Amino acid sequence: MGCTSRSRGASVSSASGAAGAVSVWQVDMDQPRPGGGDSDRPVVDVAVGILVRPDGQFLLTTRPPDKAYGGYWEFPGGKLEPGETVTQALARELREELAIEVHTCVPWREQLVDYPHALVRLHFCKVLDWSGDLQMCEGQSFAWQTLPVTVAPVLAGTVPVLEWLAE
- The reported pTM is 0.79
* Position 118 confidence tier, pLDDT thresholds 50, 70, 90: confident
Residue type, 111: Q
- H or E element that contains 166: helix 159-166
What's the pLDDT at 23? 41
CB 156 within 8 A of CB 123: no
Residues of the chain above pLDDT 70, percent: 78
**Model confidence pLDDT, tens digit, residues 46-67:** 999 999 999 999 999 999 888 8
58-62 and 101-115 strand pairing = unpaired
Q: With 70 as the cut, is the pLDDT of residue 30 above it? A: no
Q: Residue 89 is inside which H or E element, if any?
A: helix 86-98
